[in-house]
Amino acid sequence: MTLDPIHVENIARLAYGIASDVDTTDHDDLAERVWRDWLPELRRDGRVVVEPVGDHERRLAPVDDAALAERPFETVHGLDSGTINPTTFKNGLVVDVAHAAMASDPTDLGLHRDRTIVATVHAGDSTADFDGDWTERDEGHTRQRVLHAPRVNRYAEGVVHALALYLAEGTHALDHAEEVDDLLVLDGPIYPKELFTWDDRNPELGALAREAKPQAVVEKYVRLVERFVERNVPLVGFVKNPSSGTVVRALARKGVEPPWPDDTALFTRLLERRGDPDRSGDGVFGETGAAGSARGDRLDDALTFTTWFHSRGGADATMAADGDALGIDRELDPELYEPTFMIVYDPRTDVTYKLEAPYAFTRDAETRDRLTRQVLADVATTRGPPEAVAKADELARIDATEKAALRRKFEERFDSDQQATYDDLRWGKTRF
């Protein structure tokens, strides 16, 4: 049954009452104050959690100029990992399967054929042992293994998903590191941050993160940074849906009531341009070139972006110089592993992206500039992620039909059906 027109109208009227109580000008003024007074050195509990790497500016790049600019990196490799999503079976097993692939721009079909596959299993039976060694298939182009997840009383689905996803991705990246000559872009953050957030969810999960298997997964990424530093090849992460709350949480702790649900909303407010298209023609936002000026139609002639920041709060605290990296030995100066980031806003799609890199690379001004110019050129051209990331995403993605087929294979092998829910019945996901 659909809504009648009168119901649609009644619901729409609710928006008038909400809008009348929101003064967006106040939001603009606060955003400007955060940028000017807080972000140059944002502290939480005495620690500096966000501060600039070099300049502290908002800048813009005309879309056409950025798209036509020469790319600083001759070849770009992208890496992604897709999963079938955690599946619970009636025999008590919880399983997820991850499938990692690397792509290159220009295309390298031989590289695209290589895959790393990990099936992670959680069992309520403490006597079960599903751990397996790495095996090779497809004439050596595929490496795969089964990982038995540490036992937990809750969050089994989240555990198998994170361990499968990150073990496949980290292993594939390390195995193919030597094939990257100029730049590697991970599809997502540069570290397995989902594991870093376990402490915040539950004490049991926090303890689990420091056990041998989760530690081994995180260590893949630590070694990956070291390998790329040694080879002097930049490693970055392109985050398509950034959701950090480090800035807004720090502001709240200081007694400031941020109207934004997360940092992405704040940066979008800071980077969105409305009104007069000539107000910031020098390529750098001034006081009149920011979101604080009169609201009007969104200008979509230029990408807007920030300079780089250190990030030491939230999930990034684990890999900060004063963090303990979950107890993993770091062979380089701990400061070099710290996550740094810049924000890019594409007004044509009204989407905000985040580019991350270890400080080992962004401490160099020339490298920061090259990474910035590369991501601007890619976003301007594709209206989305860099081409190598989009290719990797396509290679690693497991579509709905394939997921259903794989789950049926597991049902046959386990001689056990999936544990159905009402949502499965409602949305037609379960066969009867």
Instruction: Give me the average pLDDT of each 10-residue run along the chain (432 residues).
Output: 79 73 71 95 93 97 97 97 94 94 93 96 82 93 95 92 98 97 98 91 89 96 98 98 94 91 96 73 49 69 98 95 95 98 98 98 98 98 97 95 90 86 67 46
- Spatial separation of the C-alpha atoms in residues 327 and 210, rounded to whole Å: 7
Task: List the one residue out of 118, 236, 226 whose CA is nearest residue 188.
Answer: 236
- The CA-CA-CA angle for residues 230, 232, 234, to 5°, reads 115
- Spatial separation of the C-alpha atoms in residues 428 and 430, rounded to whole Å: 6
- Spatial separation of the C-alpha atoms in residues 288 and 280, rounded to whole Å: 7
What's the one-letter identity of residue 413?
R
- Spatial separation of the C-alpha atoms in residues 399 and 406, rounded to whole Å: 11
**Token pair of 398 as six digits:** 């497991």
Q: What is the pLDDT of residue 416?
A: 86
Is the link from the previous residue into 106 a cis peptide, with omega within 30 of 0?
yes
- Spatial separation of the C-alpha atoms in residues 129 and 145, rounded to whole Å: 13
What lies within 8 Å, CB to CB, of 9 at 6+ separation is none
Q: What is the pTM of this model?
A: 0.92
Q: What is the pLDDT of residue 7?
A: 83
What's the one-letter identity of residue 203?
P
Check the CA dihedral 184-186-187-190 and report its sign. Answer: negative
Q: How far is CA 400 from CA 95, 118, 188, 390, in A?
A: 16, 19, 21, 18
Q: What is the pLDDT of residue 284?
A: 61
88: left (phi over 0), alpha (psi -120 to 50) or beta: beta
- Spatial separation of the C-alpha atoms in residues 348 and 346, rounded to whole Å: 6
**Token pair of 203 as six digits:** 């004490």
- Spatial separation of the C-alpha atoms in residues 41 and 354, rounded to whole Å: 20
- Spatial separation of the C-alpha atoms in residues 265 and 260, rounded to whole Å: 6
Task: List the one residue out of 147, 168, 167 whose CA is nearest residue 100.
Answer: 168
Q: What is the pLDDT of residue 296?
A: 74
- Spatial separation of the C-alpha atoms in residues 78 and 99, rounded to whole Å: 14
- Spatial separation of the C-alpha atoms in residues 102 and 393, rounded to whole Å: 9
